[in-house]
Chain A
């Protein structure tokens, strides 16, 4: 198998021929058995599939003025702002929003300690309206951890870690509240329907989206209950899919939106919600740490917030996905972190009631693509506006949504501009201009060098020194811009060059195993549908990922989707994809060293059922 892998990576003509043989039904490949894994129609089109010959593939269509894909903070802020402007100016505007989660807020996961700045701009009387920002930050602690000790680092005002004036929230509840406001304003919200395809006009501009088909068997054939998705057309389509959206991925390629920016760099964030002993509860306390359990060359940090909504705390970690050791398991780093003596007592007498994970973007301004294209634009964490040293992206996501809404509204309601548009789908160019002139851009520009400063050989220590010197003192006014150094998926070192990490076994009280944790997410998918974790080439996982990197997907997936199991005849291993466990975090699509995994949307209404995460 090692020979095969080296032949692959050399890309010789022999290698290409072997690859061809392997791909077209692994049984032709005698030394490596590759059972067919991927049956999804995005990899095996239905036009050539005899099982689909008799099926009527026509789709019902409907028209809106503006269509929004994704009901998170950005999408809902854009929706609310559009309707606020329309109602203010007495104009009729049909705004439709589709969201893949069964309920608004169901796929939302975040720390979260948010700056209320954007909410203030959107709804100045949010307090009277009952927005669930219930916990004001009262205490702010930042520390460097070693295995047994905790070294405080002072949080001075003006430092990115300073949270004065901010609120600890359960973001899922805030999103649910935003959804209620949007509906009250007249936005048509359709949870449980995933946008699975971008539609284009003949002139190449975006026409809208189509929702997912339902009723396809696991082997790719139609069920009796098969129903085609629906087409939603709009003058402008706003894409707010969150970090690493799968439709955004297509749009980047189609419109070459990333040609002038660096590849995005990501982190994976884990979070647990715990009920603790009220005697240990300190509502309003915010704690961040760096250092242990991460080594100096892995970017990572933790958070622990005390909510004032019952004796609840949230605890979590973020690991930069540019980590190099394929043996690193972000999930197990998280579980062992909770055993640190300074925080373990909280969990020993507490009860875990929630778990989840999601990728987040850390690239800052260097990685922001072109935001508009004929027929639409990108907002929120999808293009990526997270302020990394603050670890806050919600206020920026909401602001981008509001800016886009203003630009889209001006465009769509101006008959002259509409008739002058060179394409059928309208391009809200003012959005990007206004964003670059707003406080959002100033803020992101000032912190642009913080994240890359952690990538030198000085590692975490270097990053802290740089942030202290240049950000706190100079507020990012230094004339240079550091770079991220390439995409995350290219940073893994081969397994043989790295040390296996010996993680402690979970004790079932403070730390837990993966499957028990996944059960808490409430995730579910119809088992009888093609796996939505699609592989471009079914033979690559065993021949490449496993051979060179010891199958890192077994470790970075927070839901246990990827498993290398022994073949019955003992001749090797095969990849088993437990698609039902998926919690839609997108990490596999980001970190796969062979970029062979393409996450597509499963049927709408599936995935995790987070409650106020």
Chain B
């Protein structure tokens, strides 16, 4: 497919192995100096796009990340995995804290139109907010078909045949291109970004833009009231017999 362009969304999130800590003022979690990496589902999205390019089903891949300066590291990883060029939509760290899927999907849909993308692939959800909204909202804004929780993507006669992981099992649907896909865990195993590719990635184009360049207003539409640790689990009590259990339940007024 000549001229088939894929747009991939890459979010920079706190690394999945790091223990997250709530800020003492309860306005959010500590991110300063904490190890970050690319959202694992977005890594899978990037891998799928690169594989499609290797199979000659796509000709160009563009990665997009919205956020502060450090998002460029995330984009470099995407470039090292095989993406052709990257767009960094820069925001202040404070603005980023209140950025929501609605803002990101507006930016992605504007970029998709501007860059004449044929396919948008994003991770099904980010591991920090677990929203699972950006892909769906982007499809709606573009008025494109969507295939979410994709675990297998195949091309068939100009359409895409996508196997989706749903509650009831696996569902296969056909979507016409252009479309928005969101990647699920079993879609593929992402490749490593090797050092020679990281070095080459430094020469690949990375442009910095602002949300206003796309006419998107990122004023927060939600206010975070408070962020707290989950309640500490209360210790349980072991009982020796059913009679004791019933006694204890009666004492607690539960029976």
Chain A residues within CB distance 8 Å of chain B? 60, 62, 102-103, 106, 172-173, 176, 190, 193, 211, 214-215, 223-225, 227, 229-230, 275, 353, 519-520, 522-524, 609, 611-612
Contacts and interface: CB of A to CB of B under 8 A. Distances in A.
B18 interface: yes
Contacts of A611: 33-35
A559 to B, nearest CB: 13
B212 to A, nearest CB: 29
The interface centre, meaning the residue of B15, B33, B190 with most chain A CB atoms within 10 A of its CB, is B33
B1 to A, nearest CB: 25
Given A609-B35, A612-B33, A230 B195 contact: yes
B194 interface: yes
**Which secondary structure characterizes the binding site on chain A?**
mixed
A227 to B, nearest CB: 5
Nearest to A521: B19
B185 interface: no
B37 interface: yes
A530 B190 CA distance: 19
Contacts of B192: 214-215, 225, 227
B199 interface: yes
Interface string B1-36: 000000000000001111101001000000001110
A609 B18 contact: yes
B198 interface: yes
Contacts of A176: 33
B22 to A, nearest CB: 10
B189 interface: yes
B17 A522 contact: yes
A173 B34 CA distance: 11
B191 interface: yes
B196 interface: yes
Given A275-B24, A522-B15, A102 B194 contact: no
A227 B19 contact: no
Contact of A190 (B16, B18, B190, B195): B195
Q: Which 7 A-B pairs have the closest CB atoms?
A: A524-B17, A609-B35, A522-B18, A214-B192, A60-B196, A230-B195, A611-B33
Contact of A519 (B19, B33, B34, B190): B19
A170 B47 CA distance: 37
B17 A229 contact: no
Given A522-B15, A522-B19, A62 B199 contact: yes
29 contacts: A62-B196, A102-B35, A103-B35, A106-B35, A173-B33, A176-B33, A193-B195, A211-B195, A214-B194, A223-B189, A224-B189, A225-B189, A225-B190, A227-B191, A227-B192, A229-B194, A230-B194, A522-B17, A522-B18, A522-B19, A523-B17, A524-B15, A609-B17, A609-B34, A609-B35, A611-B33, A611-B34, A611-B35, A612-B33
Contacts of A520: 19
B198 to A, nearest CB: 7
A229 B195 contact: yes
Contacts of B33: 172-173, 176, 611-612
Interface in B176-203: 189-192, 194-196, 198-199
A230 B198 CA distance: 11
Contacts of A522: 15, 17-19, 35
Contacts of B35: 102-103, 106, 522, 609, 611
Nearest to B17: A524
Contacts, number: 55
Contacts of B198: 190, 193
B161 to A, nearest CB: 23
Given A522-B18, A609-B35, 6 more contacts: A106-B35, A173-B33, A275-B24, A522-B35, A609-B17, A612-B33
B19 A230 contact: no
B216 to A, nearest CB: 30
Contacts of B17: 522-524, 609
Contacts of B16: 524
B15 A609 contact: yes
The interface centre, meaning the residue of A106, A275, A519, A522 with most chain B CB atoms within 10 A of its CB, is A522
A225 B190 CA distance: 8
A524 B33 CA distance: 17
Nearest to B33: A611
Nearest to B194: A227
A524 B19 CA distance: 11
A103 B18 CA distance: 13
Contacts of A62: 196, 199
Contacts of B189: 223-225
Contacts of A215: 192
B81 to A, nearest CB: 11
A38 B6 CA distance: 43
Contacts of B21: 353
A578 to B, nearest CB: 14
A57 to B, nearest CB: 14
A302 B118 CA distance: 62
Contacts of A103: 35
B76 to A, nearest CB: 11
Nearest to A59: B196
A224 B189 CA distance: 9
B197 to A, nearest CB: 9
Given A102-B35, A611-B34, A230 B196 contact: yes
Interface string B152-189: 00000000000000000000000000000000000001
A102 B36 CA distance: 9
A223 B190 CA distance: 12
The interface centre, meaning the residue of A103, A211, A214, A224 with most chain B CB atoms within 10 A of its CB, is A103
Contacts of B19: 519-520, 522
A211 B192 CA distance: 13
A356 to B, nearest CB: 12
Nearest to A275: B24
